[in-house]
Structure formats: structure tokens, C-alpha cells
């Protein structure tokens, strides 16, 4: 489980990332990020009703993304606020596919701590 210190919780923080952050998009989700003045990175996940009307499906997607972030947080650069915005196509993916796409975005945007 992703602990509270690694989560974006305030609307103000989400608004800053949405307005001023850099972004990268795939067919399945988008990633927006903005530098913060903290020692760790924070993550916010948005799964809207457009993805699926059923809360069970939306919550499953959020749980999968949180599990991926919990494992990868030590490899992601510190001092950023990240916002993950999902698209309806993500509900057709399993955990490993989401993980692979997320890692590809992070590598492409140079957001891992130890780039090869």
C-alpha cells in the first residue's frame, strides 16, 4: 500500500500539477509531473466515471496503479509530484501491462534515478 507521505491529497496540489506540470500520454493513461520542494515524490491517481461507471472497476485500476507505484517509488526521481490520469482503454489491461507501459513512460521522460 502506498503510504500517505507518497500521495497527493489536496486539491491545490492536483491543480498545480495539472496547470504547470509537464506531461506524457499513452493510449491508456497520461502522466503529469511537477517539481516540488520535498524529499520524496508524491503521486495522485485519477480514474473518472468516463473510464467505467462501476466503482469496482475504477477501484481495481487504482489498486493496481498504487501497487506499481509502491514497488517502483524507490527507483523514481525524488522531489516531484506526479498525477496519473487514466483513459477508458486501461480497464482492458492487466497488472503487468500497466507496469510495462508505466516503466516505458518513466524511461522515455528520464524520471528514473538510475538511468542506463
Q: Is residue 70 part of a domain?
A: yes
Which pLDDT value is given to residue 2?
A: 83
Handedness of CA 113, 40, 6, 49 (dihedral sign): negative
CATH of the domain at 19: 3.30.230.10
Residue ranges making up the domain that contains 51: 4-108
| Distance in angstroms (rounded) separating the CA atoms of residues 56 and 114 | 36
Beta-carbon contacts of 70 under 8 Å, excluding residues fewer than 6 positions away, are 1, 2, 6
Give the three-class secondary structure for 101.
helix
Let me know if residue 114 belongs to a domain. Answer: no
At 38-94, the pLDDT tens digits run 999 999 999 999 999 999 999 999 999 999 999 999 999 999 999 999 999 999 999
Torsion of Cα atoms, 47 then 51 then 53 then 59, to 10°: -40
> Is residue 37 situated within a structural domain?
yes
pLDDT tens digit string along 22-52?
A: 999 999 999 999 999 899 999 999 999 999 9
CA distance 58 to 107: 26
Number of separate domains in the chain: 1
The C-alpha angle with vertex 8 and arms to 74 and 42, in degrees rounded to 5, equals: 20
Amino acid at each position: 500500500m502506498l503510504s500517505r507521505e507518497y500521495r497527493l491529497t489536496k486539491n491545490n496540489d492536483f491543480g498545480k500539477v495539472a496547470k504547470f506540470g509537464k506531461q506524457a500520454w499513452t493510449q491508456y493513461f497520461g502522466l503529469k509531473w511537477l517539481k516540488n520542494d520535498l524529499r520524496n515524490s508524491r503521486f495522485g491517481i485519477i480514474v473518472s466515471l468516463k473510464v467505467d461507471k462501476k466503482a469496482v472497476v475504477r477501484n481495481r485500476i487504482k489498486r493496481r496503479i498504487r501497487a506499481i507505484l509502491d514497488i517502483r517509488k524507490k527507483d523514481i526521481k525524488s522531489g516531484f509530484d506526479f498525477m496519473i490520469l487514466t483513459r477508458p482503454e486501461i480497464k482492458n489491461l492487466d497488472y503487468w501491462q500497466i507496469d510495462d507501459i508505466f516503466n516505458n513512460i518513466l524511461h522515455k521522460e528520464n524520471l528514473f534515478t538510475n538511468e542506463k
